[in-house]
Amino acid sequence: GAVVSQHPSWVICKSGTSVKIECRSLDFQATTMFWYRQFPKQSLMLMATSNEGSKATYEQGVEKDKFLINHASLTLSTLTVTSAHPEDSSFYICSARVPSGSGWYNEQFFGPGTRLTVL
């Protein structure tokens, strides 16, 4: 299968600061990536869809100004949590959709996640 990485794997920051999380597709180009949030003992909730070269589309209830998404290249999407607060502490997971031309066409592969703790 295809490989998706995330960096950092965990981060601790002070309230009010901004944190950037990177999602990379290592062996394929992903025109579409997705960002999810997972609270302890709960499911993954889709936050936004990241499209290469265009603006991200956010799910209802997700603040676009707080969770900035940039998909500047076919292998990298970044999620920046701006002015983080303790309630933003969560596990953030990205996935990348495999484009056409591959045996894994339209599959989504998930990154290992980033644990964010805001103090």
Residues that bind another protein (CB under 8 A): 1, 4, 32, 34, 41-46, 49, 93, 95, 97, 106-108, 110-113
Dump strand ranges (E) for 26-112.
Answer: 32-38, 44-51, 57-58, 67-73, 76-81, 90-97, 108-110
| Rounded least distance, CB 46 to another protein, Å | 6
Looking only at the bridges linking them, the beta strands covering 90-97 and 108-110 are antiparallel
| Cβ closest to another protein, residue 49 vs residue 70 | 49
| Cβ closest to another protein, residue 82 vs residue 115 | 115
Cβ-based neighbours of 107, under 8 Å, separated by 6 or more: 1, 2, 97, 98
Cα(95)–Cα(105) distance, integer angstroms? 14
| Cβ closest to another protein, residue 17 vs residue 42 | 42
| Rounded least distance, CB 36 to another protein, Å | 8
| Rounded least distance, CB 43 to another protein, Å | 4
